[in-house]
Amino acid sequence: MSGIVAYGTYIPKYRLRLSEIAQMWGKDSLEIEAGLKISEKAVPGFDEDAVTMGIEAGKKAIGMAEIDPSRLQSVYFGSESHPYAVKPSSTTVAQYLSVGNNYFTADLEFACKAGSAGMQVTFGLLNSRSIKYGLVIGSDAAQSKPHDALEYTAASSACAYILGNSKNEIIASILEMSSFSSDTPDFWRRDGAKYPSHFGRFTGEPAYFTHIIQEGKDLLAKSKLKPSDFAFCVFHMPNGKFPRVVAKKLGFSYEQLAASLIVDKIGNPYSASSLMGLASVLDIAKPKQKIFFVSYGSGAGSDGFIFETTEELAKLQKKTIPVLKQIEDKIYISYPEYLRHTHAI
């Protein structure tokens, strides 16, 4: 048996209202906000990047678990905005967190599902008894070209999970996992390019919806469970509209989805998106509740997990600042300030 032992999240304080972006480019902000179901997004500080945010999330996870970081035997860092093209982010994070030197590690990149891919790798190591604890981080300071559609949603934050296989420490056990993948190039950034490119509406169908829905169906079939068996569902959130649509198509209610919808207030932090949604659910979940989780990464693929919370969760919920409370700790900035924060000027 393996599962989640602890988690930590980090959301930068700075926020940019979508109305600021729309005003800059002469667009109708009310129409854009209604279509995306997002009102503002989280923006990194001038001196923040995927690694610094990942470190902050990792520190919180270690604090919740109350374990010596040297006991972590693997560190996987998922992002599509690694500060260096050639130099691992994972070792920088591990060094800062005092993990030591004896650990499995790698940087992962699979668009927005790099973090959930790290979870799968870590669960494999746990189930083979190669490790007892592993750290997984999904973190992004998402890039977007000014005046591109992505500018309204690309956001920043980090989420860290400590996974383990000691039954009396697990707060959410994993019951099933699987993946659905294909070569569907809906979103990409060539080497040396500053900003990513995308196929616009093509990123919805056949990219996002095809992969998440098929993985969702496969996961339900594999587990022999029905949507009604779950207390919560979590999906990758490129905007506020897509997860609402996919939940309905798979047979989940809005009430099952609502707790995970952090995208409405912070935007899409890419590799941290679905992981942050899961953390928001864990903040309020009760023991013995099942959570349906499906991530998505352009390129393309979806990772699916079924978690079940344990009695240990209630003990650790008191040790964390809930995601929703972190979201409300914010400072609004102007569009020119946003450009400076993201080094666009």
CA 143 from centre of chain: 15
**Residue 236 annotated as catalytic:** yes
Least confident of 88-92, 137-141, 182-186, 273-277: 182-186
Fold (topology level) of 3-170+321-341: Peroxisomal Thiolase; Chain A, domain 1 (3.40.47)
Q: Kindly list the distances between the CA atom of residue 27 and the CA atoms of 19, 20, 46, 308, 334, in Å, as whole numbers in the listed order.
A: 9, 10, 27, 44, 16
Strands 172-181 and 301-309: antiparallel
| Cβ(119)–Cβ(58) below 8 Å | no
What's the average model confidence in pLDDT over 259-285? 97
Peptide bond into 196 cis (omega under 30): no
| Cβ(96)–Cβ(55) below 8 Å | yes
pLDDT band at 194 (very low <50, low <70, confident <90, very high): confident
Structure tokens at 143: 């890039």
pLDDT band at 95 (very low <50, low <70, confident <90, very high): very high
Closest CA to 230 of 295, 311, 288, 179: 288
Phi first, then psi: what are they for 15, rounded to 5°? Answer: -130, 145
List the domain boundaries for the chain.
Answer: 3-170+321-341, 172-316
For 291-340, write each residue's pLDDT tens digit: 999 999 998 999 999 999 999 999 999 999 999 999 999 999 999 999 88
pLDDT of 145 reads: 81
Q: Where are the beta strands (DSSP E) in the chain?
A: 3-10, 14-17, 40-43, 74-78, 104-108, 133-141, 156-164, 172-181, 187-188, 197-198, 232-235, 290-294, 301-309, 331-332
What's the average model confidence in pLDDT over 104-131? 97
pLDDT band at 199 (very low <50, low <70, confident <90, very high): low
Q: List beta partners, residue 292.
A: 233, 306
Catalytic residue, chosen from 80, 151, 215, 312, is: 80
The residue type at 298: S
pLDDT of 218 reads: 98
Q: Kindly list the distances between the CA atom of residue 173 and the CA atoms of 32, 39, 246, in Å, as whole numbers in the listed order.
A: 39, 34, 24
Pick the CATH number of 172-316 from 3.40.47.10, 3.50.50.60, 3.30.1540.10, 3.40.630.10: 3.40.47.10
- pLDDT above 80 for 196: no
**Residue 112 annotated as catalytic:** yes
Q: Which residues of 101-111 are buried (b: 16+ CB within 10 A; e: fewer)?
A: eebbbbbbbbb
Read off the pTM: 0.96
- Pick 247 or 206 by higher pLDDT: 247
Please give the Cα distance from 85 to 88 (Å, whole number): 8
Order of all β-strands in the sheet with 104-108: 104-108, 74-78, 133-141, 156-164, 3-10, 172-181, 301-309, 290-294, 232-235
What's the average model confidence in pLDDT over 233-261? 97
| Cβ(304)–Cβ(179) below 8 Å | yes
Mean pLDDT of all residues belonging to the chain = 94
Domains 3-170+321-341 and 172-316 share a fold: yes
- pLDDT above 60 for 48: yes
**Residue 159 annotated as catalytic:** no
Phi first, then psi: what are they for 184, rounded to 5°? Answer: -120, 95
Catalytic residue, chosen from 48, 112, 215, 233, is: 112
pLDDT of 63 reads: 97
pLDDT of 131 reads: 98
Please give the Cα distance from 301 to 123 (Å, whole number): 18
What's the average model confidence in pLDDT over 206-228? 96
Catalytic residue, chosen from 82, 198, 211, 236, is: 236
- pLDDT above 70 for 287: yes
